Structure 1
Amino acid sequence: MEPNIEKRTMRKISWRITPFIMLLYFVAYIDRVNIGMAGLTMRGDLGLTASMFGFGAGIFFWGYFFFEVPSNIALHKFGARVWIARVMVTWGLVSGGMAFVEGPTSFYVMRFLLGAAEAGFFPGIILYISYWFPARHRAGVTSFFMAAAPLSTAIGSPITAGLLKMHGVMGLNGWQWIFIIEAIPALILAVVVLFYMTDKPEKARWLKDDERTWIVDAMKAESASKAGTAKHSIVAGLTNPRVLVLAFVYFGTSAGLYTMGIWAPQIIKQLGVSNMAVGWLNAIPPLVSVVAMVLWSRHSDRTGERTWHVVLACLAAVIGLVVAASANSIIGLIAALTLVNIGISCAKPALWSMPTMFLSGAAAATGIATINSIGNLGGFAGPAMIGWIKKTTGSYAGGLYFVAALLVLSAVLTLLLARSQKPQLSAGEALAD
């Protein structure tokens, strides 16, 4: 077999898959967090207090929690193409329905249903990546996929702010137009998924015969190399101690990510800038974090080190949150929020490279979903606590300190998990077993 077959095959697979899954996550993340920009006027129109808004924004993740594992098992059984398309149709319809909430109760119900509808998408894509990319390529690909989240904030914030100006068009408020218009791409892309996605390498007619043979053999060899130690059953994916620890590590990073996605616009707004200025300023931190994420994950892949790439990134986010809590100028606040975004974004690709190294098959499907469903409850805890503390104290500072503490816990748990793998492995390799 020719020497450069790996390079040629991986280049073709990367160009085929990576931009497309980035586009899907771009749309998914906008529909999750556009509530942050919509809230600039929605809260007043619906009479939502800070605690109501934080609770409703975060309850999305309870829907995720209850339906994530069953959804990922279904994806493993029915294939990514059909299941991802199904997920996108349901979340697109519910996201558009957010335009018609009338008060706290309907707001809570629709956010919960949106989480239930979208459950399975993110872990499904992480599982899908493990079908196509050998472990040594996985963190880099995952970083590009996850870069869609900060990119969606960077690009989507000014657009969403602009949609607020549609207030009064056809008798609807600007925030209603946000949900209606930004739900449409999910419905269109659901159809595209059915025709474009390929479930597994064996079915890839767009690869040459030798390329398809190489990737199939490479993935089989990797699976065989894990046969003695990797867990394969559904129960193993749910109960593996490393899965549960990684879920709590992810809890802290999710609290940070969704605190920024949901509350950053209103934290910026309190310094007295216009809604459109909020949109542009809110775009800066995630834009910078994209570059940092790609470089950091490439370094992680190149060195094979995962633990410290998670720990140092979490600690950077902690510093940013502490500084943001006391920032009283636009420049200082945006600089602090940029550091938070860099830290959170950089932690995730190395973290998500870990579970598929010790799980495969149905165990990988359930393990990834378990990490995501439990971990994403941080997306409830962070925004909800921010809202409650803001209502109680009149300041965002206490909530930001709370989220910083969760990220410290994530860093500590990552180190403890690495230490628990010794003496078989070094701390740098421990979580990449």
Structure 2
Amino acid sequence: MIPIPSVPGGARGRTELDRVLARRLLPLLVVAYIICFLDRTNIAIAKSHLQVDLGISAAVYGIGAGLFFLTYALFEVPSNLIMHRVGARVWITRIMITWGIVSGCMALVQGEKSFYALRMLLGIAESGFFPGVMLYLTYWFRPEQRARASGLFLLGVAAANALGSPVSGALLELDGVAGLHGWQWLFIVEAIPALLMASLVWRLLPDGPRSAPWLSPREAELVVEETGKGGSEHHRLDLRAVVAPQILLTIVIYFFHQIAIYCVTFFLPGIIGTYGKMSSFSVGLLTSLPWISAALGTVLMLRSDVDVKRSRRLMVIGLLVMAGGLGMASLRDPVIAMVGFCIASSMFFVAEGILFTYPASWLSGSSLAAGIAFVNSCGLVGGFVGPSLMGLIEQHTGRAANGLLAVAAVLVLAAILSLWLRQKGEVEEVAAVPRPASS
């Protein structure tokens, strides 16, 4: 690490500069992700209303929830490659405008076909936002800081569910106002922030360290040198590196992780609704508790730099904690089940934040842009498989929580596979150790 001494002329100490980067970038990105995730998942709180008003069954809902991820996955790699070429500012702004428009159009759903079509369009519109930000963070943060930066960015998911669930529940209470259903008000109102936020991203988000007006030229060059990225590399795309064994292993683990995340995201409000007769607002409040736990877990577990050995240990422990928590959540006792959801969610973003440091350690330039998108694209197929499976289980057994045991088993397998994860630095260290001469 190259030290940055505190000297006249605008240069700041290393710790102070780290804080400046986090303060200038993460709040904007977190708010954008809150809006992104809210527009992606607000159908969860509207699920029962869509069933009553439009006749959408649990199986149709599960497939529609998952179709988003199939179209999202198809367009992620080209989207990230375009962002790497044209810059984060213009491309993320474009993504936010298109997803805001499509999300608002969800209020026009008439039945099964239009539900499927708009979920697929939303996937296309939003495609590239998450992997684009994961790539963008590598331009600014050193390897040992990336897990923390990624984890803090992922707090947007927790905040979207913790704050969004009660708000969405309240919007559903507008049923009948101006002749619209409550779920129509939900989609219309929650689409507006994406369009407003797009203008802020356009004005405030720099493409990379060298274009940041709040960094001195010397600080910008040091950030570029320490990260090894800088946002200006255009190395040729190396497809062999993108599909290397460690990248493929990351994909499998991420796939299992995303099955768990989106089963909870899309079915938690419905499961809570079976605990007793409650208003939509009350269900929203209870739904927020596990996501508050997710935020607390992320802040506490990733409060300091994460080195190579600690990252793998946290990954394995995090996945096992998630599995145990979802096992508890499958029980019929509401109190025990809610505690289980909170335990599981406390490690959601700890594991995910760490996971994306692995491809970043092996790839660079266009290969990194494609690699991160490839990992997210393949992993997010779990966002289709999980909700679809949960929907089928609910339809055949009458209880969605029965599917949580299958998800817990998948997470145990992911924890076992995590033992074989390696970052490039680890492999290089092993290779550099001299072997004893044979006698």
Where does 1:68-217 land on structure 2 (aligned, <5 Å)? 68-217=76-225
SS in 2 for 1:298: coil
- Counterpart CA distance in 2 for 1:133 and 1:423 is 22
In the other structure, the counterpart of 2:54 is 46
C-alpha change, 1:8 and 1:343, in structure 2 (3 Å) is: closer
Change in CA separation of 1:129 and 1:295 when aligned onto 2, cut-off 3 Å: same
Distance 1:6 1:420, change over 3 A: closer
Q: 1:323 aligns with which of 308, 328, 338?
A: 328
The equivalences for 1:325-404 within 5 A come to 325-329=330-334, 331-404=335-408
Distance 2:215 2:427 in 1: 42
CA distance in 2, matches of 1:415, 1:208: 42
Q: Which secondary structure state, in structure 2, belongs to the residue aligned with residue 175 of structure 1?
A: helix
Distance 1:355 1:304, change over 3 A: same
Are the structure 2 counterparts of residues 425 and 406 from structure 1 closer, same or farther at C-alpha, using a change threshold of 3 Å? Answer: farther
CA distance in 2, matches of 1:338, 1:349: 18
- Runs of 5+ consecutive residues of structure 1 not aligned to the other structure: 427-433
Alignment-mate amino acid for residue 310 of structure 1: M
Distance 1:419 1:123, change over 3 A: closer
CA contact (8 A) 2:59 2:395 kept: yes
Match among 232, 237, 240 for residue 233 of structure 1: 237
Alpha-carbon distance in structure 2 between the residues aligned to 1:420 and 1:403: 30
Letter in 2 for 1:259: C
Alpha-carbon displacement from aligned partner over 1:322-357 (angstroms, at most 9, x marks no partner): 11111322x222111111211322211111122111
Rounded to whole Å, the distance in 2 between the matches of 1:424 and 1:215 is 23
Partner of 1:61: 69
Q: CA distance change for structure 1 residues 162 and 105 in 2, over 3 Å: closer, same or farther?
A: same
2:270 to 266, 269, 274: 266
Deviation readout 1:410-432 (Å, 9 max, x if unpaired): 21221133499987658xxxxxx
> Is the Cα contact below 8 Å between 2:68 and 2:123 reproduced in 1?
yes
- Paired with 2:228 and 2:162, the residues of 1 have a C-alpha distance of 39
SS of the counterpart of 2:173?
A: helix
| Matched length | 419
Q: Deviations over 1:100-153 (max 9, x none)?
A: 111111111111111111110000000000011111211111111001101110
- Is 1:243–1:370's contact at 8 Å kept on the other side of the alignment? no
* Unmatched tracts of structure 2, length 5 or more: 7-11, 431-439
- Secondary structure class of the residue paired with 2:421: helix
Q: How does 1:229-308 map to 2 (within 5 A)?
A: 233-272=237-276, 273-299=278-304, 301=306, 305-308=310-313
Contact 2:71/2:120 (<8 A) preserved: yes
Give how far 1:217 is off. Answer: 3.0
Match of 2:437 in 1: none
Distance 1:422 1:237, change over 3 A: closer
Residue 257 of structure 1 and its aligned partner are, at CA, apart by 1.0
Find the structure with the greater CA-based Rg: 2
Deviation at 1:394, TM superposition (A): 1.2
Q: Secondary structure at the match of 2:330?
A: helix
Q: Percent identity?
A: 37
Alignment match of 1:2 (pick from 5, 12, 34): 5
Distance 1:236 1:184 in 2: 42
Question: Structure 2: which amino acid aligns with 1:348?
Answer: E
CA RMSD of aligned residues (A): 2.2
1:300 to partner: Cα distance = 5.8
SS in 1 for 2:258: helix
User: TM-score by structure 1 length?
Assistant: 0.92
Q: CA distance change for structure 1 residues 165 and 423 in 2, over 3 Å: closer, same or farther? A: closer
**Structure 1 pair 180/361, CA: closer, same or farther in 2 (3 Å)?**
same
CA contact (8 A) 2:322 2:408 kept: yes
Separation in 2, partners of 1:104, 1:56: 8
Query: Retained in 2: the 8 A contact 1:92–1:183?
Result: yes
CA contact 1:236–1:363 (8 Å) conserved in 2: no
Structure (1 or 2) with the greater helix fraction: 1
Q: Give the drift of 1:213.
A: 3.2
CA gap of 1:180–1:260, structure 2 versus 1, over 3 A, is same
Displacement after TM superposition at 1:99 (Å): 0.7
For 1:96, what is the secondary structure of its paired residue? helix
Distance in 2 (CA, whole Å) between partners of 1:87 and 1:300 is 31
The 8 Å contact of residues 247 and 374 in structure 1, kept in 2 or not, is answered as yes
TM-score, structure 2 normalization: 0.91
Structure-2 separation of matches of 1:413 and 1:304: 16
CA distance in 2, matches of 1:65, 1:236: 20
Aligned mates of 2:57, 2:285 — CA distance in 1: 25
Q: Distance in 1 between matches of 2:242 and 2:149?
A: 25
Query: Match for residue 429 of structure 1?
Result: none
| Counterpart code for 1:2 | P
